[in-house]
Chains A and B, each alone.
Chain A
Amino acid sequence: MTVRRIEMKLARMIMRTALMLVAAVVAAASARAQMVYGISAVVNLTDTTISTYSATELDYWADAYYDAYVEGYLFQNGWLYGWGSASSGSYSNIAYGYMNKPAIGGAVYQIESDHYVVAAYAYTDPYGTPYFSNPLGYYFLSTGGGSTDNAIPFGPADGPTYVTVQYGYLGTTAVRAYTPTALLSNGSLANATAEWSSNGDGTYNVNVSAPAYNILEEYNFLQAATVTSFPPCTIGEPRLCALWNGVRVLAEVALLAGAAVQGLYNVWSQRVPCPYGWPGDDGAVAPGPDWTWQGNGPPGSSEGNWVKNNPNGRQESLHPDLNHPAPKAPHWDYKDPGGKWWDVWKDGTMTPKK
């Protein structure tokens, strides 16, 4: 091979490479990235009201092929407190919604939103046999696999006979908020103190002045729970999948404020269901047929307990403390068969006494 031929080969190779690269640039410039916006927000409107917002929004390019779907999960001090979902359906490019919930002072609220695009696939062979196509490798949200789940018919005039809807999980956004009384000026919670005073209209004034532990115990605002559901979920018209040009999600992730919050969370996370639920609003009424009043005072008074004798000889006791001054909420004192003391709360759960 002569030098001249080598030279020509090199020149051709360079030109081909350059042409391919230029073509790639042109293709990239003409392809519009499909954008998906996912957002979680939680706003502590007051010490007693929290509002969340979850949304998955598609731009029009993505909306040409997909629906949007979002699921929102609200946690209060690590416990699931509310949830809901929304779908864009066929006539919108945004799946969004909110939850308004009563809040308690000194609590941590976290909203987590799972964001999805919804795609429908259908394929019929020349003989009219429908097949499922999964070019993006999505999994089934509900079953983890299968071909007929979520299948809905459409057409026959406008398209294939069969379609399967799938949810493409994009990611989860999450953000936390704290009800204001949890935070002192130095950001610490460990030595927080609080005073609670009722305004008589369901609202409360709070001056921080009591042990932080008690702040977490104060949750009587949960009684008037109102849950706003997300708009109803509908599955939209069938659409076919497209080449994925790139999806981006806006993610919100907030960190815990500090170790003090974590410590309070650990206490609150020890809440467990009371074996007897909420014993009742009247301390003079026995929690059950097996309970007898033992004490110097009349039933329901501060001097005495409701006692249950178990066949194994171990006693349990319940003592009503339904007029406990703020910041601690009305509760029952419960001694379990093992001798451990608990506070029983109106929602039927209990936390260990300090």
Chain B
Amino acid sequence: MPLTMRTLSSLFTRATRGAVLVFTVSALLTVQLPGQTQEGGAVSKRMLYRHFLAHVALLDADTKPISTLDSRRPIDLYPSRVGLPAAKFSQVRAIARHLDAAIRAKDEQAREVIRRFRLSIANQQTSGGQLPPPPPELGDLQRQRDQLIQNCLDLLAAQLGPTDAARLDTFVEQVFAPKARVQRVAIPRSYDPGTNPLPPLERQDK
């Protein structure tokens, strides 16, 4: 078949379509997927508060006094540091305890799913780390857990009112976690037994 203008035009059209397709798919690959956090970006307020409230709950459960000379507990010092009246901060403490209990209950649910998952793969002989993906129901549980935290944040804001909620925001963002950012961790992903030989384990029973 001779090389005509028509065939050249057809070739050009197809190549253009292909290029557009490749470009589109490449762009799709770079789009941030749901659940991913931007490298170097700000940490979500939900996560900062989750850990701030965890700190409050931990101190709240600690009954030891500051020292032999000071019978107050460290949690008693928190309100003035945050800049809230003790009565207002008691609401923070109550929500911290509530969230701690709620998260523990949710974690128990997830624990059972994870336990069954681990049992299902316990006897699987693995040499290259090829394991099945985690159970999909963990996704639902994780979303429910995230929502628990968000609900507590909303409750906190409602109970404190705009002025005190803003004060607490300032404390959490500027004192408790002043430099939080998202960072990607470099972890070796590939496995080459030839480059990473390891001796067999010694037998312990038998």
Contact = CB atoms under 8 A, between A and B. Distances in A.
- Does A associate with B in a complex? yes
B124 A60 contact: no
Interface string A120-144: 0101110001111111110000000
B200 A63 contact: no
A155 B21 CA distance: 52
A168 B185 CA distance: 11
A41 B176 contact: yes
B201 A162 contact: yes
Nearest to B119: A158
A135 B77 contact: no
Given A41-B51, A97-B58, A132 B198 contact: yes
Given A33-B35, A100-B74, A248-B185, A164 B201 contact: yes
Given A131-B200, A171-B185, A4 B7 contact: yes
Contact of A252 (B29, B177, B187, B205): B177
A295 interface: no
Interface stretch (A16-24, A280-288, A299-307, A324-332): A16-24
B163 interface: no
B118 interface: yes
A250 to B, nearest CB: 5
Nearest to A145: B198
Contact of B17 (A14, A33, A155, A239): A14
A31 B185 CA distance: 18
Given A32-B35, A60-B138, A18 B201 contact: no
A63 B114 contact: yes
A290 interface: no
B125 A124 contact: yes
Given A3-B7, A65-B134, A131 B1 contact: no
A351 interface: no
A250 B47 contact: yes
A160 B123 CA distance: 6
Contact of A51 (B51, B55, B115, B138): B55
A96 interface: yes
B27 to A, nearest CB: 10
B131 A241 contact: yes
Given A18-B18, A21-B25, A247-B187, A64 B205 contact: no
A247 B185 contact: yes
A203 B187 contact: no
> Is the interface on chain B under 10, 10 to 19, 20 to 34, or 35 or more residues?
35 or more
A128 B103 CA distance: 41
A279 to B, nearest CB: 24
Interface stretch (A146-154, A185-193, A266-274, A336-344): A146-154
Given A32-B139, A136-B187, A248 B201 contact: no
Contacts of A259: none
B182 A61 contact: no
Contacts of B198: 131-134, 147
A11 B11 CA distance: 9
A7 B114 CA distance: 52
B37 interface: yes
B191 A175 contact: no
B177 A43 contact: no
Nearest to B22: A17
A183 interface: no
A346 B169 CA distance: 40
Interface string B184-206: 11011101000010111111110
A201 B178 contact: no
Contacts of A130: 200-201, 203
Given A65-B131, A151-B202, A224-B69, 15 more contacts: A4-B7, A14-B21, A32-B35, A32-B134, A45-B78, A60-B138, A64-B117, A131-B200, A147-B199, A175-B179, A202-B69, A248-B39, A248-B183, A252-B180, A254-B179
Interface of A: 2-4, 6-7, 10-11, 13-14, 17-18, 21-22, 24-25, 28-29, 31-33, 35-37, 39, 41, 43-46, 48-49, 51, 53, 55, 57, 59-61, 63-65, 91-94, 96-98, 100, 102, 121, 123-125, 129-137, 147-148, 151, 153, 155, 158-162, 164, 168, 170-171, 175, 177, 201-203, 224, 226, 228, 237-244, 246-254
Interface of B: 1-3, 7, 10-11, 14-15, 17-18, 21-22, 25-26, 28-29, 33, 35-37, 39, 43, 47, 51-52, 54-55, 58-59, 62, 64, 66-70, 74, 77-78, 80-81, 107, 110-111, 113-115, 117-119, 121-131, 133-135, 138-139, 141-142, 145, 175-185, 187-189, 191, 196, 198-205
